[in-house]
Amino acid sequence: MLKVVHLNTYDGNGGAGRACMRLNRALLSQNIDSKIIVHYKFGNNADIKTFNRGIIQKSYTAATIIFERILAKRFLKPDSRTPFSFTWFGRSVIKHPDVKAADIIHLHWVNHGFLDPKHIAEIKRLGKPVVWTFHDSNAFTGGCHVRYTCTNYQQECGNCPLLINSGNDDISHRIWQQKNKAYQQLDFNVVAPSTWMQGSVEAISLMKGKAISQIPNTLETDIFKPIDKAEAKEQAGLPTDKFIFLSGFMPSRKDLHKGTQYLLESMELLKQRLGADADKIELVVFGNRGTEAVPDFPFKTSFLGTINNDEKLALHYAAADAFLIPSLEDNLPYTVMESLSCGTPVIAFTTGGIPNMVQHEYSGYLATYRSSESFADGMEWIIKHPEKEKLNRQARQTIMDRFSEEVIAKQHIEVYNNLLSEGGNNV
């Protein structure tokens, strides 16, 4: 039986963690011996293992994660809201029995003091094929996880706009060099969840010679599934006579990565266009940690807080008439996939990997990048659409055809088998 071990920093905390756990479940359903080992374990799932043996090791790991964040403030500009990871801490993984026993080592999101370049290169000593899913851009930048319009990573980083002391040989340049040295020692097969990510990887010298496979993430289609809209609204305690927009975590107007300001502007525009009919619209927001720092929305808004139960989350997706995601850069955001799987169309900017999931005016609306006017057009389009049930069916079918567990598991298994038939890419 094929043995695969997945390495990720956390167990389900964040999109990469969820992607890792969902792929593991999908592989198990195809009779693959698949295991997950994490750097820091939050949950109590006995099937997910950790490199920490005992409370002392776990405490040390937590301390390094926290210390990196504190120390980073000395190097990053105070107004920087772009996630950035340094390479001060790392740990060896090659002596863990499940890593040693695996046929395939599959890396996922390995920041926050987990796998620094030195310990990534060390994996070569095992002589096993390595697969690495890029859940964001950090693997090929000098530290940032979100690039926006910066192209410095295409050369060797340096002159980083996020750093206080920026220059040709700044920290971002030195981190880039560390990664370049490590990647020359360790060969690996890149899995890019989106066409956008694949194009990014193919365009840079840091990834020269690396094999790339474009395979999306998957999700539990038996949990995230359609429910009759009226019935779902009643179960969720939402008005059945209102058009419900659902959206994810909205931190503040100043937040850059999630594009909150564009959602606010587009909703103001929509309210003006609808006139008296604006009273028929409601917004529901999940994932917010509190209502103190959130902006005032022009429509009646309910804040659900963080939803840790997938069945409850799926119910709210199914109850909504449309999902709004104004994100400015995302690889393959799970909120989009979850919404579509529940038969709920999505309004989003044309950015990152979102066009791989949302088909314009088929399963949602792709607005012009950074255009509040265009985003408002998308919301108005779906409110006035004459065949909403058809849109709902098309949204669900998109997921079943291209992102179901069986489809994605088989694509990964093909990559694994090809690597093994080649004799391993690190031997």
Residue 257 pLDDT: 52
For tokens 């890019």, the residue is 192
| Strand intervals (E) in 174-260 | 189-192, 211-214, 243-247
Residue 422 has pLDDT above 90, yes or no: no
Q: What is the pLDDT of residues 92-127, one digit of tens each?
A: 999 999 999 999 999 999 999 999 999 999 999 999
Is residue 427 scored above 50 in pLDDT?
no
pLDDT tens, 216-231?
A: 999 999 999 999 999 9
**Does pLDDT of 424 surpass 60?**
no
Average pLDDT (403-418) is 97
Residue 269, pLDDT above cutoff 70: yes
134 pLDDT above the threshold of 90 = yes
- pLDDT tens digits, one per residue of 32-59: 999 999 999 998 999 999 999 999 999 9
Distance of CA 152 to the CA centre of its chain: 23
Q: Exposed, middle or buried by CB within 10 Å (0-12, 13-18, 19+), for 226?
A: middle
CA distances to 116, 118, 173, 187, 191 from 178, rounded to whole Å, are: 9, 8, 9, 15, 21
Q: Which two tokens stand for residue 414?
A: 């093909």
Reported as a pLDDT band with limits 50, 70 and 90, residue 421 is: very high
Residue 296 has pLDDT above 80, yes or no: yes
What is the rounded average pLDDT of the residues 303-318?
94
Q: Each residue of 378-403: pLDDT tens digit?
A: 999 999 999 999 999 999 999 999 99
CA-based max dimension of the chain: 69
pLDDT at 305: 87
Is residue 356's pLDDT more than 50? yes
pLDDT at 159 over 50: yes
User: pTM of the prediction?
Assistant: 0.88
DSSP code of 276?
G
Q: pLDDT at position 181, please?
A: 97
pLDDT reported for residue 291? 61
**pLDDT band, residue 426 (cuts 50/70/90):** very low
Give the whole-angstrom CA distance, residue 117 versus residue 96: 18
Burial of 171-196, coded b for 16+ CB within 10 Å and e otherwise, reads bbbbbbbbbbebbeebbbbbbbbbeb
First to last CA, the chain: 21
- In this predicted structure, the answer to whether residue 293 has a pLDDT above a threshold of 70 is no
Q: What pLDDT does residue 259 have? A: 82
pLDDT over 60 (residue 253): no
pLDDT at 203: 87
State the pLDDT at residue 292. 64
Q: Is the pLDDT of residue 136 over 60?
A: yes
Q: Could you give the CA distance from residue 302 to residue 324 in angstroms, rounded to a whole number?
A: 14
The number of beta carbons lying within 10 Å of the beta carbon of residue 318 is 25
Where does the pLDDT of residue 145 fall: very low under 50, low under 70, confident under 90, or very high at 90 and above? very high
